[in-house]
Structure 1
C-alpha cells in the first residue's frame, strides 16, 4: 500500500517515522537512565529509580513495536481504508503525545523552544511534524492516493 501513497507521505511514514522510532528505541535501551533524565530539560540532577528505568525500557520497546507495526501495515495491505484507519490512530496518538509532553514541560518551557533539549524537540516538534503531515495527507494536500493494482485473476485448469 505504501506505493499508493503520494510521494511525501510515503517517504515520511515509511522511512522518516520508522527511523525516528528506532532511534527512540535505541536511546531508551542503550541508556535508560539518560533517557529518563532527558525527558524534560532541567538544570537539577534527576533521581533515577528502578521503576523509571523499567518504564524507559518499556517505552523503548513500544517505539520499536510502533516502527514494526507501521512497516507491516504500510508494506502489506493494499486497502486504502486500512492505511487511513492506521494513520488516524497515529494522528490521535500524536495529539496525546504532544499534549502529555506539553503538560510535563509546562507552559513556560513549552513556549520557549530555545530551552528545549533534543528529547523535547523529538517529543514535541517531531511529533507535531508527523501529525501535520498526517493532517495534510487527510486533507489531500499531497494529491490523491494512487489506485492499487487489481488482484490478478486466478487461472483455472
Structure 2
C-alpha cells in the first residue's frame, strides 16, 4: 500500500520586522515609557501640574503619591516587557500579539485624557505642554505605527513562508495499492485443508503438504494446534462439503 501526499503550498507570512519597527518598539517606545515612570515617581508634584494645573494640589496627598508610585511601577513593567520580549524573537505572530495589546492600551490612554475636553486634549496641539505631547501626540505616532505593522506595510512577504504543522502539510492523501505481480498465485490443494475436532469444537486449519509447506506452522504451539490425523472427507473437497461436518462452536 502506497500513500501519496500532495503538499499544500505554504502560506506566506511576513518575515523579520523591518528596521523602522524594530527601532520604534525596541528602543524609542521603551525609553519613552521609562521616562514616564521616572516622572511619575520622582517628580510627582510636577507630574500633576503638567497634567492639569488648575486642579493640582500644592502638596501631593499620600493616597495620590501611592497611586503615582503604582503608575510608575506599571510603566516600568511595560517598558521592560516590550523591550525584552520582542528582543528574544523575530516571529511575526509574537510581535503581532503584543502590538495588538499595546494598540488597545493606546485607545485607553487617549480616553483617559478626554475629561480635559476633546478639542483641548486631541486637537489643539499648539497648546500642548510636555506631558500633553507624551500623552497624546506620541501616542498618535505609536498607534499609527502599530496599525501600519499589523497591515504588513514594509514587510517582504516573498522571503518568509509561513510554518505549517507537518500533520496538516498535505492537501489530499491518496492511498493506492501496489502493482500486482503477473505471477500466478500459489494455490494449495483442497486436501491440505483439514477439519479438526477437539474438545467439542472443530476448526479448519491450513496444513500445507509436501514441498509447499515451508514449515509455516512449526512455530505454533502443538497443544493448541495439534497435527490433524483424521476426519478427512474421502471424496469431495472440504470447502465444497462444509455442510457435511458438524461445527460445535463452544467458546
TM-score band w.r.t. shorter chain: 0.7 to 0.9
CA-to-aligned-CA distance 1:15-46 (integer Å, 9 cap, x gap): 10011011111111211122122223x3x362
Distance in 2 (CA, whole Å) between partners of 1:4 and 1:74 is 11
Higher helix share: 1
Structure 1 pair 144–50 and aligned structure 2 pair: CA distance change class (3 A): farther
Q: TM-score, normalised by structure 1?
A: 0.82
Q: What is the Cα-based RMSD across aligned positions, in Å?
A: 2.2
Counterpart pick for 1:46 among 50, 53, 56 = 56
From 31, 42, 45, the counterpart of 1:19: 31
- 1:1-157 to 2 correspondences below 5 Å: 4-40=16-52, 42=53, 44=54, 46-47=56-57, 48-101=60-113, 103-110=114-121, 111-144=123-156, 147=160
Residue by residue, what CA displacement relative to the aligned partner does 1:101-152 show, whole Å, maximum 9, x if unpaired? 2x1321231221221111011001101110100001111222237749x9xx
Which protein has greater RCO, CA pairs closer than 8 Å, 6+ apart? 1
The superposition leaves residues 45-103 of structure 1 with CA deviations (integer Å, 9 ceiling, x where unpaired) of 621321211111111111110010011210123432121101100010011111222x1
Moved beyond 3 Å, runs of 4+: 144-148
How far, CA to CA, are the matches of 2:33 and 2:47 in structure 1?
Answer: 14
Whether contact under 8 Å (2:18, 2:155) holds in the other structure is: yes
Task: Give structure 2 stretches of 5+ with no counterpart.
Answer: 1-14, 164-251
- Structure holding more strand per residue: 2
Highest Rg: 1 or 2?
2
CA contact (8 A) 1:28 1:57 kept: yes
Unaligned runs of 5+ in 1: 151-157
